[in-house]
Structure 1
């Protein structure tokens, strides 16, 4: 399979950034995309809403469903999944993209922020998978793709920001567990993470780093597309790095993804 034409994707946090890029790449194939995010009204600090994302998906050739959904809320997730099934007849792919970030040490991490990261990242990914799996199990080539890093217990990633690392590694361990449980049932469960920084609003959380030091979200979208078009029965339990996925797909020149070719690319977190 080389196309996502006719497939239905449920993507969390798809109103902007990597989630939107993945949605647009699928839309160019003629996919159905459920955009599940909290961004219902414009935010002066962050561009994009579920409505602008839906229009962009439709302009790109797909069908879109804008769903105001806080993935911390079980009832909202279940309602969003039900609306997606009602609109498109099922769900083929879940992309767990939504994530909260706070890169501070323990004494500078308010518990409200700590709780937010755990609820959105690991719990949210688990909840969305739980809600989508009854439908994925009936899909012909079902995938769950979560934006999280390879699991690591290296203290250098834990010391500077324990709360955030716990939240991201929580997503990784959820991926590990779901792959072990549902891979044998034909559902591909994989993770995807970038080797270098990706130019999204999240970069503003990292002091001294600019978007010019990263690559466009399009590189993650192309890598996700390459994974989601693979045979689910033979592609599960992997922690993919995006440049390796593209290399395997025959794309070796990544220079076009650089936001500013004159600036050095910086490695993303959790990459050695």
Structure 2
């Protein structure tokens, strides 16, 4: 059973910081957005759908998997704020069908790469010049443990794209560190977001099983989770808040895994 955790949040820690979290209306992105907002940041987020009623700060309706979408986000943020202090590239996922490698078309690969790699590349390219000019900024890329633990049935393209994102992030860190910009990667495992909970419910209905049994089945598909449960969006948000804060000033070019011990290798 998961315990309710009450975090101690400094409401002024991010005062004066302009933060963009892509995909900030649901799941981990929404948790990160609210965590930073509650700590004093001026926040913005993106999504392809409309903003929820409790959305804080600036909302930009855009599909960042396409060039025009990232351009719209960059132009809107620049018009409102003139730049960013913190960029969290959180958008990701896959709509590719099952069937393994031979079931993936060129279109599946292109869409997955655009969503999970090129969205971050384009947004970084748009906001980095201002960060370089100020000699200050933080970029956090949200990758996945699948970049080290790929699942071939339906998410091989996703795993490959996240591996590319992690490699890109490391190279970018080497280039940008001397310019005053920190770049890190956060790689979650199975996090029980609203979407994951809906998947668990569908599996339980299809299998005629309980929610606990369906959840356990998903965990076993990853090889098990040693702590015995999926992670929570607020736990990811807490780690992200640390990584983009001044408390992590010497953390650079690093990749932090939050997966409950799922990845079995060093």
* TM-score bracket for this pair, using the shorter chain length: 0.7 to 0.9
Matching residue within 66, 78, 81 for 1:85: 78
TM-score, normalised with respect to structure 2? 0.74
Q: Against the structure 1 CA distance between its residues 157 and 151, is the aligned structure 2 distance closer, same or farther, given a 3 Å change threshold?
A: closer
What residue is the counterpart of 1:238 in the other structure?
254
Greater CA deviation, 73-82 or 227-236?
227-236
Residue 4 of structure 1 and its aligned partner are, at CA, apart by: 1.2
2:125 matched to 1:130? yes
User: C-alpha deviations, 1:115-148, integer Å up to 9, x for none?
Assistant: 2111111111111111111122244641100111
Distance 1:271 1:78, change over 3 A: farther
Listed as ranges, the matches of 1:38-187 within 5 Å are: 38-40=48-50, 51-52=51-52, 55-58=53-56, 64-101=57-94, 102=96, 104=98, 105-139=100-134, 141-149=136-144, 157=150, 159-160=152-153, 161-187=155-181
Query: 1: CA distance between counterparts of 2:97 and 2:134?
Result: 38
Q: Which residues of structure 1 form unaligned runs of 5+?
A: 41-50, 59-63, 244-264
CA contact (8 A) 2:135 2:179 kept: no
C-alpha distance in 1 between matches for 2:71 and 2:22: 13
> Residue 227 of structure 1 corresponds to which residue in structure 2?
243
**What is the CA-CA distance between 1:57 and the residue it aligns to?**
4.2
- 219-228 or 233-242, which deviates more: 233-242
Match of 1:27 among 21, 24, 37: 37
Aligned length: 229
CA distance in 2 between counterparts of 1:228 and 1:109 reads 36
Q: Distance in 2 between matches of 1:186 and 1:151?
A: 30
SS in 2 for 1:170: helix
- Counterpart of 2:190 in structure 1 is 197
Q: Structure 1 pair 186/214, CA: closer, same or farther in 2 (3 Å)? A: same
Q: TM-score, normalised by structure 1?
A: 0.73
- Contact 2:135 2:181 (8 Å CA) reproduced: no
Distance 2:196 2:106 in 1: 20
Contact 2:66/2:114 (<8 A) preserved: no
Q: CA RMSD in A?
A: 3.1
Indicate if the aligned counterparts of 1:18 and 1:218 stay in contact, CA closer than 8 A: yes
Q: 1:92, 1:139 within 8 Å by CA — same for their partners in 2?
A: no
Q: Is the 8 A contact 1:14 1:35 kept in 2?
A: yes
- Once residues 271 and 7 of structure 1 are traced to their aligned partners in structure 2, the CA distance between those partners, rounded to angstroms, is 37
For the 8 Å contact 1:197–1:215, the answer to whether it is kept is yes
Secondary structure in 1 matching 2:110: helix
CA contact (8 A) 2:141 2:169 kept: yes
